[in-house]
């Protein structure tokens, strides 16, 4: 089976292009520094020129490493930040708060994912409202035994051919009595 590396190109391509452009610019700058150093050290003593080139190369590598560290931190923050926000919202939803929504900054990634999570939470909130309305429409006494309600409804449904909401309410009232 062939692996798919570009699972979300809309996000992956810009990141790959930025990273590649940064590395290319760093290589060009590094090449220009090497050329300048060879021209500068051509008239100097050989050992001193080698040490000077080595020191400049180490300094350039350290500077480029810091640039790459800053860039990778910034890029990963655009992914990890939204994931942390989604995790917080889902944790609140797991505890029964379906009114929370994922809110991302404009320059963050994963807006489509956040929108899907928000739609899911909206659906759960709507379903919960419908269940509350249904529950409120039946006067189920506190502490009513669900099995007893089912048995009473089945017994009464066997006696009656038509089941109306009034009949169901009566069955529930009988079960709670």
Task: Kindly list the averaged pLDDT for each block of 10 residues, start to end, along the chain of length 177.
Answer: 70 83 88 80 70 82 88 82 90 93 88 92 91 75 63 65 55 52
Domain range annotation of the chain: 9-137, 138-177
pLDDT of the residue at 95: 93
Of 134, 101, 103, 105, the residue nearest 119 (C-alpha): 101
Q: Residue 9 CA to chain centroid, in angstroms?
A: 16
Q: What is the pLDDT of residues 152-170, one digit of tens each?
A: 667 766 655 445 556 555 5
Cα torsion angle, 37, 42, 43, 48, sign:
positive
Angle, helices 146-159 vs 165-176, to 10°: value is 130
Let me know: does 26 contact 64? Beta carbons within 8 Å. yes
pLDDT of the residue at 118: 95
This prediction's pTM: 0.54
Let me know: does 169 contact 138? Beta carbons within 8 Å. yes
pLDDT of the residue at 161: 45
pLDDT of the residue at 125: 92
Residue whose pair of structure tokens reads 């220009």 in the numeric block: 32
């Amino acid at each position: 089976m062939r692996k798919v590396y570009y699972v979300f190109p809309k996000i992956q391509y810009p990141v790959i292009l930025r990273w590649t452009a940064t590395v290319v610019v760093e290589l060009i700058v590094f090449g220009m520094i090497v050329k300048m150093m060879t021209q500068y050290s051509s008239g100097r003593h050989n050992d001193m020129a080698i040490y000077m080139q080595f020191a400049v190369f180490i300094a350039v590598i350290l500077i480029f490493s810091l640039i790459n560290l800053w860039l990778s931190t910034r890029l990963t923050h655009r992914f990890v930040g939204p994931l942390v926000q989604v995790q917080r919202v889902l944790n609140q939803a797991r505890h029964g708060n379906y009114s929370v929504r994922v809110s991302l900054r404009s320059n963050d990634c994963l807006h489509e994912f956040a929108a899907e999570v928000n739609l899911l939470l909206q659906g759960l909130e709507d379903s919960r409202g419908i269940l509350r309305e249904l529950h409120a429409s039946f006067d189920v006494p506190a502490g009513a035994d669900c099995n007893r309600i089912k048995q009473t409804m089945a017994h009464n449904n066997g006696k009656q051919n038509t089941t109306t909401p009034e009949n169901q309410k009566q069955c529930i009232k009988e079960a709670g009595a």
